[in-house]
Amino acid sequence: MTDQRIKKAFGLLKKNGIDTFVATEINHVHYLSGFTGSNGIVVISPPKAYFLTDFRYGLQAQKEVKNCKIVIANRQLITELPKLPVFSKGTRVGVEGDFISLNMLEKLKELLPQVVFRPTSQLVESLSVVKDGDEIGKIRKAVRIADKAFSEILDELKPGVKEKDIALEIEYKMRILGAENASFETIVASGQRSAMPHGRASDKKLRKGDYVTLDFGCLYQGYASDITRTVVLGKATEKQKKIYDIVLTAQKAACRAVRPGMACSRLDSVARDIIMKAGYGDNFGHGLGHGIGLIVHDRPVLSPQSNDVLEPGMVVTIEPGIYISNWGGVRIEDDVLVTTNGGQILSKLPKELVEL
């Protein structure tokens, strides 16, 4: 699969007005080369590609990297670049403008004074936004792990248990089930804190009658999942049921509406219009969702301002919410694969309100 990614990258160089491309962002290095370590650079210069790492990762690179010539650096990786036969006078070299530091760019200019550096934007992202079969399989596995972990910790959601303890437990379960790590810091927000969309798990103890929002996910072979469920400890009040039903209706409608060729801003409006008509438009202050892949917040962006369009092979989150200060909030989130026939929900967890 990585061979095809390199070949596709070859085709993008000319479109971006460059002869050679240097990828330094580690997730992009992973995507292009298959390398899962923490120190690497990929240099693409048709018809060849090079992978640079240090001695610590020599054996790992031999095992994982099949589509690039492997170069083991004696010092900093960038000091090996002048030794590659691709940086002749006047070569137009693309660097990742959204990620490369000013300090590194200055060092590159010192090492390669004969070339012309040109910042690029979204070059690798334009390739990785549509997932291949291998990537989709890994995301499916990451979703299955997160699903099972959540199911196994539901019985532990009881009054008196700290939010932090729940977060640790679900992350532990995901690791036991085969995850490499959590894909982001697990969110557990209960009671009035559930009105915080990104409420970090705290020392607050769960109480009877609380909404409890859990936003969690894991990494499997580098690929992320991202799921949210909101439950109630005990019997839900009429207001809690009402708010939950509005969010659930909006979430289901957006999942059903997913189709290739659809503007992401339009998909956002499917859910947002339902929440607005219910009178809670001001309480839904974030976008409907985002892509997932090697990073948990990938393209496309699902928001009112987005210019992205859905394509088959994209995997996106659908996560509307309502957040009411000094009361609480609800968010429901699934990972959805865009197919030629519409959207396929990858997570299998039930979405009807759970009263524990």
Q: Are residues 11 and 91 in the same domain?
A: yes
Q: Are residues 93 and 159 in the same domain?
A: no
Mean pLDDT across 8-30: 94
Q: Are residues 214 and 334 in the same domain?
A: yes
Mean pLDDT across 112-129: 94
Three-state SS sequence of 45-86: ECCEEEEEEEHHHHHHHHHHCCCCEEEEECCCHHHHHHHCCC
User: Is the pLDDT score of 140 beyond 80?
Assistant: yes
Q: Are residues 198 and 336 in the same domain?
A: yes
Quote the CA–CA distance of 86 and 123 in Å, as a whole number.
Answer: 20
Model pLDDT, residue 179: 98
Rounded to 10 degrees, what is the CA torsion of 131, 134, 135, 140?
Answer: 120
Q: What is the DSSP string of 90-112?
A: T-EEEEETTT--HHHHHHHHHH-
What confidence tens digit (pLDDT) does each residue in 320-349 have?
999 999 999 999 999 999 999 999 999 999
Q: Are residues 10 and 138 in the same domain?
A: no
Quote the CA–CA distance of 208 and 187 in Å, as a whole number.
Answer: 19
- pTM beyond 0.95, yes or no: no
Contact 185, 199 (CB under 8 A): no
Quote the CA–CA distance of 70 and 207 in Å, as a whole number.
Answer: 56
What confidence tens digit (pLDDT) does each residue in 216-228 have?
999 999 999 999 9
DSSP state of 172: H
What confidence tens digit (pLDDT) does each residue in 252-273 have?
999 999 999 999 999 999 999 9
Model pLDDT, residue 18: 97
Residue type, 266: R
Model pLDDT, residue 4: 87
Q: Are residues 122 and 229 in the same domain?
A: no
Quote the CA–CA distance of 24 and 90 in Å, as a whole number.
Answer: 21
* pLDDT averaged over every residue in the chain: 96
Q: Are residues 201 and 113 in the same domain?
A: no
Quote the CA–CA distance of 189 and 202 in Å, as a whole number.
Answer: 8
Categorize the per-residue pLDDT at 75 as very low, low, confident or very high, splitting at 50, 70 and 90.
Answer: confident
Model pLDDT, residue 279: 98
Contact 269, 318 (CB under 8 A): no
User: Is the pLDDT score of 207 beyond 80?
Assistant: yes
The burial class, CB within 10 Å (0-12 / 13-18 / 19+), for 248 is middle
Give the domain CATH number at 337: 3.90.230.10
Model pLDDT, residue 1: 64
Categorize the per-residue pLDDT at 84 as very low, low, confident or very high, splitting at 50, 70 and 90.
Answer: very high
Mean pLDDT across 49-77: 94
Mean pLDDT across 26-39: 94
Q: Are residues 117 and 207 in the same domain?
A: no
Range of the structural domain that residue 244 is part of: 133-355
Final residue in a domain of this structure, among 128, 147, 164: 128
Final residue in a domain of this structure, among 128, 157, 174: 128
Q: Are residues 17 and 141 in the same domain?
A: no
Provide φ and ψ at 277, rounded to 5°. Answer: -65, -25
Q: Are residues 174 and 320 in the same domain?
A: yes
User: Is the pLDDT score of 3 beyond 90?
Assistant: no
Final residue in a domain of this structure, among 128, 159, 187: 128
Between helix 238-257 and helix 264-277 the angle, nearest 10°, is 160
Angle at the Cα of 23 from the Cα atoms of 17 and 27, rounded to 5 degrees: 130
Q: Are residues 284 and 188 in the same domain?
A: yes
Contact 84, 8 (CB under 8 A): no
Model pLDDT, residue 288: 98
Beta bridge partners of 120: 96
Give the domain CATH number at 58: 3.40.350.10
Domain count across the chain: 2
Categorize the per-residue pLDDT at 249 as very low, low, confident or very high, splitting at 50, 70 and 90.
Answer: very high
